[in-house]
Structure 1
Amino acid sequence: MSTVLDIRDVLPSEVEPVRLFLGQNGWGHRTGSAEHFAQLIAHSQRTAIAVKDSRIVGFARGITDGLSNGYLSMVVVCEKHRREGVGRALVEHLMGENSDITWVLRAGREGASEFFAGLGFEVSTIAMERPRSK
């Protein structure tokens, strides 16, 4: 018997638990201090959390103007719950119903290209990137 997966926006009280979840799942280098991460979440127009059995099993965040452009910044699912539709549900929640928005992302992790292709993303020949300083 499977437990219901809850996909919803991140509540203010969940910001620190999300930061800890990310640290436990290989994203600690991108979260920084509690204060830094709280600012990161506050400046993201869309955040989503996946909860199963009262535990965080996934997180995603995006930046968008809500009309034309969007950027998927983080999509993280704990290893135990990968290939269960958690990542897909998070991305679909973030992107919402507006099909007029062009969403972009960086798919550098192993398996990311195949995952996002299944959600309708295509490799772009026009995107450019200015990487962050190390």
Structure 2
Amino acid sequence: MAGNERCVRIRWLDKTYRRSHPAGISSKQYHCACFFDGRIVGFGRALSDGVFNAAIYDVVVHRDFQKRGIGKAIVEDLLAQLRHVSCVHLIATTGNEPFYQQAGFKKIKTAMGRYLSRDLAREYLEGGENA
């Protein structure tokens, strides 16, 4: 049984999705970069299946250009590019959660992660030292 048939059987793919994406799920990349005097001072990127899920990665602004609305503009641009996607996830850098909350993000009840780096596991996973 093909992957799409399995998904249809468990009602994951509805008729609208099958019509718009007959070959199945594909991935798309989204980018936003901000420039000053010809150099990049901020950027962000996201990956998505184009319909159901997306994840924003690497919203980064050079320290000399922070607190000027550049990060906000990057997140707003990425969200505009992802406006048709049902669910957008991200992992905030420790301490930056309020920034993303102002953009409308909320904590996820069932989110899980896995890190190969013990340091990152301690920082981001529940259980910290025991992760």
Q: TM-score, normalised by structure 1?
A: 0.60
Q: Which runs of 5+ in 1 are unaligned?
A: 1-42
Q: Which runs of 5+ in 2 are unaligned?
A: 1-26, 118-131
C-alpha distance in 1, partners of 2:28/2:46? Answer: 6
Of 83, 86, 92, 1:101 maps to 86
The equivalent residue for 1:122 is 106
The equivalent residue for 1:50 is 34
C-alpha distance in 2, partners of 1:114/1:82? Answer: 15
Q: Aligned-pair distance for 1:100?
A: 4.7
Of 51, 62, 70, 2:46 maps to 62
1:98-119, Cα deviation, whole Å (9 max, x unpaired): 2653111111332x10100010
Q: Which amino acid in 2 is paired with 1:108? A: T
Q: Aligned-pair distance for 1:69?
A: 1.0
Cα-Cα RMSD:
1.9
Report whether the alignment pairs 1:71 with 2:55.
yes
Identity of aligned residues (%): 31
Q: Aligned-pair distance for 1:44?
A: 6.2
Structure showing greater Rg:
2
C-alpha distance in 2, partners of 1:73/1:115? Answer: 14
CA contact (8 A) 1:66 1:101 kept: no
Q: Provide the aligned length of Structure 1 versus Structure 2.
A: 90
Q: Aligned-pair distance for 1:50?
A: 0.6
Q: Which amino acid in 2 is paired with 1:106? A: I
1:71-114, Cα deviation, whole Å (9 max, x unpaired): 0111000111111111111111112252653111111332x101
SS of match in other structure, 2:113: coil
C-alpha distance in 2, partners of 1:104/1:47? Answer: 15
